[in-house]
Structure 1
Amino acid sequence: MKKIFFVFLASIISLWAKPYTDMLGRSVEINKAETFVFVGPGALRLGAYLGLREKIVGIEKLEQMPNAQSPYRTFIGVDFAKKLPVIGNGGPGKMPNLEALLNVHPDVIFTSFIPKDQIELITQKTGIPVVALSYGASYGGKGNKNLDEIKASLKLIALIANQEQRAEVLVSFIQKQEEQLSKIKLPDTSVYVGGVAYKGIQPITSTEVDYPPFALLGIKNSIFKDNPEAKGHQFIDFEALLKANPELIFTDMYSRAKIQQDYKENKALYDTLKAYKNGEVKEVLGFNNYSTNVENLLLIAWQIANYMGYDVDINAKAQEIFNAFYPNNGDILLEKLSYKLGAK
């Protein structure tokens, strides 16, 4: 009799459920969306952008750790994050703790970088709707244009969480930034980016073929000009960097200590590079920490444009971008993060 009652109850609830199509093309039925858990690299960030901080009921342990490269964690706040129940350690493709999920029992679980079979397992074991998000092909998703996937994920979360107006404003801002950056005319200078963070800090030989800030500006990583088949993150040989000998080198702030240490140990070799010899090595913010920090990505593109001769007030641009991503909190966040954004 009890089983019949629960089957009947489930049937009634399903009548109220509304179907949504997630970023993996799965149909997910949701009947209530007031509390959330975000699982996997980048998922929580998108929730923070949409102002869902107070609706989070569980958090990955990794997300409780502050990191200057991930402004959304500073926005959420360490004290707030540490008061939330831990639902797993976190990490790419890492399963959350199913028992912990059941204990906090969110209305919806949003995931990124979680394989489809694991998503189905979470749904099966917990009975909680799971919605897959995407950061694009370069960052674990299926789409070729990363920002398009991120914008679509923001809209999807907003549709479910009743934050459509907020998403519309933010997505419109991102699109406007893309348009403005694409129209900037820069000199035909050979450029390279090194020290790109990838699962932690990396040496100057860590780079990216389609480095997103370059892509926003329509410029190419010169190291791959003769290798059109190359894609994604790459570790190159230092000899390849010497051969390409770019006029301008950008380095990821996140890997500063490693690059500086390597420079001290191999100064003569580094100084044979044109960029080092001419003082044309410029540091930019990092954006890839537990996936893409979109606000930093946009700001890096403006930093690069500025270093290449485009007249822009970087500090004013930082305030504009951060206030768009974190309304009424952008200036405060920048002060806490202590980014040194000095112009060229």
Structure 2
Amino acid sequence: MRKSTISILIIMLAVCILAAGCGPGPGPSASTTPKTRTITDSVGRTVEIPATVEKIVPLGNTPRMITYLGLANKVVGLGGMAADKITPVTAYAYANKDLWANVPIVGTDAAGATDYYPEQIISVKPDVILCSYTKELADEIQTKTGIPVVAVPMGTLFGKDYEDALRLLGDVCGAKERAEEVISYINNSLKDLATRTSNIPDANKPTVLGAAATFKGAHGIEGVYMKYAVFSTIAANDVTKGVSDKAGGVLVDKEQIIGWNPQFIFLDSGGVNLVKTDYTNNPDFYAHLKAVNEGNIYQYPSSTSYYSNVEIPIVNSYYVASLLYPEQFKDIVFKDKANEIFKFFLGTDDYLSKLENAGAGYDKVTLGDK
């Protein structure tokens, strides 16, 4: 009986081995792991991208965004400007100038003229092309290169569409957690600024003007900002309030500035020399301005350089607020706060000194002997 039982077990084991049906089978084959996945970009395009993205070509405003996401080392081709034209005001590019020194330029948006170079893009073999363009242009680039193109919003400064862009880029490039960190940092900074300034009575707020605005190049004092995010973030008493429904830089008649007669004037650093030259040629005009007579003219870096920065406007907001509302910001050491913000976004220590060395720092502006 015992021999019969053993014989039966031996036969059953042999059958199992032959049929490969007994015992645990082999684990999942690596070949079954998906190599691609499908996403929907911001303009509604369905795009098949690699499951893991290691090499990217960012165009439009995406080089700045991927810098904030800590993805600069994945760039194999770049949409941007020649290295010798980069200044610290274009913070993302300046912070990466050594890392990207040998990365080929494969597109440009200089002076609003969008262009890209299909052959050069193909030659660097990216996994994906990132851009902030229209559906039509994204389709065109993908057709000409045969490489997946993901379009994200251009990004309104401090707007939800900027958050959408960061999240989509983080998803595509494997940086979801960092995207949420960046979004939280921006929102927490804006909340801090708003909380400190929200209860200041309007009667206690000095009037301000953002001049020497940067848009399509540098301008003198007649270039002014309307609905300027740096001012609205801190509830500043902006003399241009109600003049226009559109945000951005515009040229105004200089007599209008006399009519506004702000107590403080803040100038983009790139336009300061134009203002100084104008002062030399037209001192009588400036003699009418309270800000000039009381020595309340200051400079800060432009918020805009190759599309809008994010880190510089946040720092600008702290700078302006610390001058307008010193009591509410007395616990802030501006230099430390500025470098903290720059470090978070750019990964660079003491970026403030780089701006200062380029003449684009935060400082009082002297016109003549004023």
TM-score range (shorter-chain normalised) is 0.7 to 0.9
Distance 1:66 1:342, change over 3 A: same
SS at match of 2:210: strand
Query: Which residue number in structure 1 is paired with residue 104 of structure 2?
Result: 85
1:210–1:231 CA contact under 8 A, matched in 2? yes
Match of 1:210 among 227, 235, 240: 227
SS at match of 2:57: strand
Query: Which residue number in structure 2 is paired with residue 223 of structure 1?
Result: 240
Letter in 2 for 1:117: E
Distance 1:222 1:26, change over 3 A: farther
SS at match of 1:233: strand
Query: Which residue number in structure 2 is paired with residue 317 of structure 1?
Result: 337
Structural mapping, 1:75-224, within 5 Å: 75-77=95-97, 79-91=98-110, 92-112=112-132, 114-136=133-155, 146-185=158-197, 186=200, 187-224=204-241
Q: Deviation digits for residues 218-271 of structure 1, max 9, x if unmatched?
A: 23531343x354543211111111111112211111211111111111111112
State yes or no: 1:52 paired with 2:68. Answer: no
Query: Which residue number in structure 2 is paired with residue 279 of structure 1?
Result: 295
For structure 2, the 5+ residue unaligned runs are 1-30, 366-370
- Displacement of 1:300 in angstroms is 0.2
State yes or no: 1:335 paired with 2:347. Answer: no
Q: Deviation digits for residues 172-191 of structure 1, max 9, x if unmatched?
A: 11111010011122532221
Query: Which residue number in structure 1 is paired with residue 7 of structure 2?
Result: none
Query: Which residue number in structure 1 is paired with residue 41 of structure 2?
Result: 22
Distance 1:166 1:231, change over 3 A: closer
Query: Which residue number in structure 1 is paired with residue 19 of structure 2?
Result: none
- Displacement of 1:146 in angstroms is 4.2
Distance 1:340 1:62, change over 3 A: closer
Query: Which residue number in structure 1 is paired with residue 270 of structure 2?
Result: 254
Q: Deviation digits for residues 73-104 of structure 1, max 9, x if unmatched?
A: 22212x44331122134333512011111111
Structure-1 separation of matches of 2:229 and 2:275? 21
Structure-2 separation of matches of 1:336 and 1:156? 31
TM-score normalised to the size of structure 1? 0.85
2:79–2:108 CA contact under 8 A, matched in 1? yes
Equivalenced residue count is: 319
Distance 1:271 1:170, change over 3 A: same
- Displacement of 1:69 in angstroms is 0.5
Structure-1 separation of matches of 2:139 and 2:361? 44
Letter in 1 for 2:291: A
Percentage identity across aligned positions? 27
- Displacement of 1:326 in angstroms is 2.9
Distance 1:304 1:75, change over 3 A: same
Q: Deviation digits for residues 187-223 of structure 1, max 9, x if unmatched?
A: 3222110011112211111122111111211235313
Structure-2 separation of matches of 1:337 and 1:224? 30
SS at match of 2:106: coil
SS at match of 1:149: helix
Q: Deviation digits for residues 100-154 of structure 1, max 9, x if unmatched?
A: 1111121111112x333221111111121212222445xxxxxxx7432222211
TM-score normalised to the size of structure 2? 0.79
Letter in 1 for 2:131: T
Letter in 1 for 2:233: L
For structure 1, the 5+ residue unaligned runs are 1-11, 138-144
SS at match of 2:81: helix
Query: Which residue number in structure 2 is paired with residue 301 of structure 1?
Result: 317
Structure-2 separation of matches of 1:121 and 1:340? 41
Larger radius of gyration: 2
SS at match of 2:54: coil
- Displacement of 1:19 in angstroms is 2.5
Structure-1 separation of matches of 2:73 and 2:246? 42
Structure-1 separation of matches of 2:177 and 2:54? 17
- Displacement of 1:166 in angstroms is 1.8
SS at match of 1:82: coil
Aligned-CA RMSD value? 2.4
